[in-house]
Structure 1
Amino acid sequence: MLKSLKKLIKRPQHRSEDRELELKLAAATLMFEVVRSDGRVDDVELIYMEEILRREFNLDDEELSELFKQAKSTAHEATSLHNFTREICDNWGNAKRAKLLEYLWTLALADDQIDPHERHLVRKVAGLLHLNEKQIIQSRERAKRQLGID
């Protein structure tokens, strides 16, 4: 009986940890989708993506490498963004979703130019994250300031 109780106590924690991993993967996959949406993957975009993931999710080198690898694989296999955005909407508040959008703008703007495909994808994700026009503009402006773009 004691073993059963211990399993029950541990289970929610594992589910919580699994959920956190799924959310990290969903966010990283969306980031990689933006990075590759203009048809090329620039080193500067990958560097920013790594910095964002490391800082936002407090990852060490090994965790970052694994998440990055999984995000690339997941992005290549994905047929829709809805699964990723739904998971994020179900678990993250408005402020955290807006911060993710800021990161997506940062990646889209990282190479000092924004391709129409990047803009379209970021705006599409913003809609799927249930963010309004004001939040979209504010997130883009914060990303520009962070990158030193006027």
Structure 2
Amino acid sequence: MLADFFKRLTAAKDETLEPSDARLALAVLLVRVARANDDYARSEVAKIDVILMRHYDDLDADGAAQLRAQAEELENTAHDTVKFTQAVKEAVPLENRTEIVESLWELVLADGERDHEEEGALRLIAPLLGINDRDSALARQRVEAREG
């Protein structure tokens, strides 16, 4: 399954990605941000599952956990963040990508700390998704206001 995902991800531009590819790509980005500081906290694991269920209505807790587990495996071996952001960009319209950046900020702030490594990973990913620094900062502020 992961080998097929990589084939589709590296295929020619005219070959379309499966909707499940974008799901897995988003999950990998979430895991990548959470692991950026080498402290993959339980609160972050739980937050990833919640975020995945919120973004994909057809995922229940077990489905989200399975998707996250696949993403964890893939994140261990795949080092090219650009491929994952491209998969998300192809599947998610620009006006909806700010929600993804908000979700990434939720994850950065999930353990109660604003970690520099996690924030750095997010600051790399946001522009690759087409979200500028200002919009990313506004997304962070919305999350901080909402999460308290």
- TM-score, length of structure 1 as denominator length: 0.82
Q: Is the 8 A contact 1:26 1:88 kept in 2?
A: yes
Aligned partner of 1:108 in structure 2 is 108
Aligned partner of 1:140 in structure 2 is 140
**What SS class does the counterpart of residue 67 from structure 1 fall into?**
helix
Deviation at 1:72, TM superposition (A): 0.4
Aligned partner of 1:68 in structure 2 is 68
Change in 2 beyond 3 A, CA 1:46/1:115 = same
Aligned partner of 1:95 in structure 2 is 95
Q: Partners of 2:73 and 2:18 in 1: how far apart?
A: 19
TM alignment of 1:42-61, pairs within 5 A: 42-58=41-57, 59-61=59-61
1:119 and 2:119 correspond: yes
Residues 61-81 of structure 1 show CA distances to partners (whole Å, capped at 9, x for unaligned) of 332222011110111111110
Deviation at 1:88, TM superposition (A): 1.3
Q: Partners of 1:106 and 1:89 in 2: how far apart?
A: 20
Instruction: Specify every segment of 5 or more residues in structure 2 that has no aligned partner in the other structure, as ranges.
Output: 1-14
Q: Partners of 2:79 and 2:51 in 1: how far apart?
A: 25
Q: Is the 8 A contact 1:110 1:147 kept in 2?
A: no
Q: Partners of 1:43 and 1:66 in 2: how far apart?
A: 16
Higher fraction of helix: 1
Aligned partner of 1:78 in structure 2 is 78
Aligned partner of 1:9 in structure 2 is none
CA RMSD, 1 decimal: 1.6
State the percentage of identical aligned residues: 27
Deviation at 1:130, TM superposition (A): 1.4
**What SS class does the counterpart of residue 18 from structure 2 fall into?**
helix
- TM-score, length of structure 2 as denominator length: 0.83
Q: Partners of 1:62 and 1:109 in 2: how far apart?
A: 24
Q: Partners of 2:53 and 2:29 in 1: how far apart?
A: 16
Residues 76-119 of structure 1 show CA distances to partners (whole Å, capped at 9, x for unaligned) of 11111011001111221112211111000110011111111111
